[in-house]
């Protein structure tokens, strides 16, 4: 079965008692048993729920995974992975990892004995040099946020296999429609389904997918033990979003490519970062491991902080908001908004300057999006 078909059919057979073609929202916490211990496969909804099961089965299949687990948020999924570690274990992570991921490494799990090292994972030799005997996981985001740096997933996977370390890839920015890390050798895929998978900015969720049955068993145990599960309605909304994922990702990529090329030629724009541009340093690797540039573009305006602030405040269709991956276009200023918690010196060192703007290109008509950006960039 092809991707677009799986998204609509896997785990979603018509409901057996009524024939409903849409998986129902099983809004129940518990299930009646015929006799103690005799039940229809469900006992309590933290452990299993049929609506969540449908989402887990469908999304796992889209990642090419045998196993999938849904969570209440991306951070709940990530925290559950970290709960599988023990005091003294070590993680090597991308240095411009999602801010919430860094925060939970640094402010929460270090108190329980987690050690971590941040490296530029686009440099495979740097990843190799950071590995220690106690390293359990290499954590990669590609493309990263907001600079869209690219890591060669297959190369890092090869290194991890040779050293007996698990490779986890946060695939939020690409979604399985564009990039499937397990097929490239990763052990675990991590998602914030809040973004492209849900796709409509109306639900928060997370996901883990793997083909490693021992790892799955451990994570499934922790899903129930720690309890970071999504409710039935959130599972249903995410499953509904999933059905149009392939169509939406095509539209995001097509418009983002046109907007990136338009911005490159714009006289108010200093530079543009977009993996779909041949000028992007990770372009060749990205296009080998993913089937599109995605919907996120980062660019620097020539007029500094004041100009960046005016542009962000002047767009009408691009809403000024954090998050990304929805049908509506968003604009944001990383230094003031999503990356404000990164100390200014570190931001500057990483290239997150005050003239940097990030946009999430939605699926509105391309002509309207280009016109909105042009009128906002003219606010010099």
* Shortest spacing between CB 92 and ligand PLP, in angstroms: 17
**Least Cβ distance, residue 5 to ligand PLP (angstroms):** 27
243 tagged catalytic: no
Residue from 31, 46, 202, 302 carrying the catalytic annotation: 46
CB nearer ligand PLP, residue 74 or residue 293: 74
Question: CA 228, 44, 78 angle in degrees (round to 5)?
Answer: 15
| Smallest separation, CB 324 to ligand PLP (Å) | 7
- The CB-side HSE value for 28 (13 A sphere, CA atoms) comes to 12
Binding site for ligand PLP (CB under 6 A): 73-75, 98, 100-101, 141, 145, 170, 172-173, 192, 194-195, 204, 206
Question: What sign for the dihedral angle of Cα 65, 70, 73, 79?
Answer: negative
Determine whether 347 is an active site residue. Answer: no
Closest CB to ligand PLP among residues 307, 333: 333
Written as six digits, the tokens of 168 are 């986890």
**Which residues, in sequence order, are CB contacts of 304 under 8 Å at separation 6+?**
354, 355
Distances (CA, A) of 171 to 20, 180, 187, 234: 32, 8, 12, 20
9 and 21 Cβ atoms separated by less than 8 Å = no
Please say whether the beta carbons of 234 and 72 come within 8 A: yes
Judged by CB, which is closer to ligand PLP: 170, or 332? 170
Cα 120 to Cα 35: distance, rounded to the nearest angstrom: 57
Of 248 and 309, the one with the shorter C-beta distance to ligand PLP is: 248
- State the catalytic residue, choosing from 52, 96, 98, 136: 98
Write the CA distances from 197 to 27, 136, 214, 219, 331, integer angstroms.
22, 28, 26, 21, 19
Is residue 300 part of the annotated active site? The answer reads: no
Nearer to ligand PLP, 173 or 236 (CB): 173
The catalytically annotated residue of 89, 152, 170, 234 is: 170
C-beta of 12 vs 122, nearer to ligand PLP: 122
Q: How far is the CB of 174 from ligand PLP (least distance, A)?
A: 10
> Measured at CB, which residue is nearest to ligand PLP?
74
Q: Would you say 135 and 91 are in contact if contact means Cβ atoms under 8 Å apart?
A: yes
Nearest approach in angstroms of CB 13 to ligand PLP is 28
CB of 145 to ligand PLP, least distance (A): 6
What separation in angstroms does the CA of 374 have from each of 46, 185, 273, 318?
49, 42, 18, 12
Select which of 52, 136, 149, 195 is catalytic: 195
CA atoms within 13 A on the CB side of 221: 8
Tell me, yes or no, if 98 is annotated catalytic.
Answer: yes
Residue 96 corresponds to which tokens in the numbers above?
């411009």
Catalytic residues: 46, 98, 170, 195
């Amino acid at each position: 079965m092809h991707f677009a078909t799986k998204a609509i059919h896997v785990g979603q057979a018509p409901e057996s008692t009524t024939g409903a073609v849409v998986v129902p929202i099983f809004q129940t916490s518990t299930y009646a048993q015929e006799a103690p211990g005799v039940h229809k496969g469900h006992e309590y909804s933290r452990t299993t729920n049929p609506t969540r099961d449908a989402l887990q089965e469908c999304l796992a299949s889209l990642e090419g995974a045998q196993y999938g687990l849904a969570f209440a948020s991306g951070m709940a999924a990530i925290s559950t992975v970290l709960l599988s570690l023990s005091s003294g274990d070590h993680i090597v992570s991308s240095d411009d990892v999602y801010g919430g991921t860094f925060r939970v490494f640094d402010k929460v799990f270090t108190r329980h004995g987690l050690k971590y090292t941040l490296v530029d994972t686009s440099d495979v030799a740097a990843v190799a040099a950071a590995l220690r005997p106690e390293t359990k996981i290499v954590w990669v985001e590609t493309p990263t946020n907001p600079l869209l740096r690219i890591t060669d997933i297959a190369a890092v996977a090869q290194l991890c296999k040779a050293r007996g370390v698990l490779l986890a890839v946060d695939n939020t920015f690409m979604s399985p429609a564009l990039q499937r890390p397990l097929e490239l050798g990763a052990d675990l895929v991590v998602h914030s389904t809040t973004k492209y998978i849900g796709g409509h900015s109306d639900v928060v969720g997370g996901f883990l997918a793997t083909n490693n049955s021992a790892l799955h068993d451990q994570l499934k145990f922790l899903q129930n033990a720690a309890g970071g599960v999504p409710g039935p309605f959130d599972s249903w909304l995410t499953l509904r979003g999933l059905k149009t994922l392939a169509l939406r990702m095509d539209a995001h990529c097509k418009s983002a490519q046109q907007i990136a090329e338009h911005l490159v030629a714009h006289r108010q724009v200093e530079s543009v970062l977009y993996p779909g541009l041949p000028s992007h340093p990770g372009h060749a690797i990205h296009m080998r491991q993913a089937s599109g540039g995605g919907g996120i573009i980062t660019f620097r305006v020539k007029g500094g902080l004041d100009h960046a602030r005016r542009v962000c405040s002047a767009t009408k269709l691009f809403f000024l908001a954090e998050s990304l991956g929805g049908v509506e276009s968003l604009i944001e200023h990383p230094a003031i908004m999503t990356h404000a918690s990164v100390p200014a010196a570190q931001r500057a060192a990483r290239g997150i300057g005050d003239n940097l703007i990030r946009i999430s290109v939605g699926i509105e008509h391309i002509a309207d999006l280009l016109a909105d950006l042009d009128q906002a960039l003219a606010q010099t």
